[in-house]
Amino acid sequence: MNAGVSLLRPAPANPATRPELTEALRAAVAAKADAARAFLREAAAEFGTAGELTFANSFGAEDMVLTDLILQAKLSIEIFSLDTGRLPAETYTLIGEVEKRYGVKLKIYFPDADAVEQFVRTHGINAFYDSVELRKACCGVRKMEPLRRALAGKKAWITGLRAAQSVTRTGMAAREFDEGNGLEKLNPLLEWSEAEVWAYIRLFDVPYNALHDQFYPSIGCAPCTRAIAVGEDVRAGRWWWEDPTTKECGLHVSER
């Protein structure tokens, strides 16, 4: 064998993360970014000045667009994140990049250590694969309880949800009352397409999770996230062993 030829080739980059930046796409992104900025400004004026508005940043592509919009405009919107303790290494790398790029220290909530210990000792380290109930219980301990602490005292929270992401997210409104958490839920990117999200990231050189280039459209905890095949639903990589209609972690379950 030719010593200069390596059998190891770089993995193919996901074309979805590099849309062709046509004039039409640039114009659509500019219009939607303006609308999202106006939406966020109004939200900040309504809830932010009293510290009652927060943005749940999970470091997905949509959340990176919102992070950029909020921090570039210096809006009075708190940003928080949940560290479940099971995040992929790439997400921690991105957290460090965000802190460096924007000169901020992120407000990160961790699960209650005693509750995690108890759950793992009772059910095992990877119990989420055993049943929907145990998966939801794990999400409850690692995400929902910290989320409740993060939302305590807030009147509204911002998410990066898009309607096209999941069968469970169609029919949502840009602003709706979140019965489960008892506050307004604001979704400024609801009508954005995946191509528009990635065009924004490319045009403004926004940091993003390296896993997106490896066909991970939706990134959560490492053991519950996988790459998807071309043509699969963008949420197919999350809790892939479950029925699609049950696949919300509880953070964004509508009461409807």
162 and 198 in contact (C-beta within 8 Å)? no
Considering only residues 17, 81, 84, 181, which one is a binding residue for ligand SF4 as defined by CB under 6 A?
84
Q: How far, in Å, CA of 233 to CA of 244, rounded?
A: 10
- The 2-41 contact track toward ligand SF4, x by CB under 6 A, reads ----------------------------------------
Q: For residue 224, indicate whether it is catalytic.
A: no
The whole-angstrom separation of Cα 142 and Cα 248 is 14
- Cβ-proximal residue to ligand SF4, closest one: 221
Count of residues of this chain found to bind ligand SF4 when the rule CB under 6 A is applied: 13
Which 140-169 residues touch ligand SF4, going by CB under 6 A?
A: 142-143
What are all long-range contacts of 198-202, with beta carbons under 8 Å and residues at least 24 apart? 198/16, 198/17, 198/18, 198/19, 198/61, 199/19, 199/21, 199/25, 199/26, 199/28, 199/29, 200/29, 200/33, 200/65, 200/68, 201/17, 201/61, 201/64, 201/65, 202/18, 202/19, 202/21
Give yes or no for a contact between 217 and 188, defined as CB atoms under 8 angstroms apart.
no
For ligand SF4, the closer CB: 163 or 222: 222
What DSSP element (H or E) covers 107? strand 107-109
- In the complex, least distance from residue 155 CB atom to ligand SF4, rounded to whole angstroms: 26
249 contacts ligand SF4 (rule: CB under 6 A) = yes
Is residue 138 close enough to count as binding ligand SF4 by CB under 6 A? Answer: yes
The single residue among 197, 224, 236, 251 that binds ligand SF4, judged by CB under 6 A, is: 224
Which range in 47-55, 97-105, 135-143, 178-186 contacts ligand SF4 by CB under 6 A? 135-143
Compute the least distance from the CB of residue 122 to ligand SF4, in Å: 14
Residues annotated as catalytic are 249
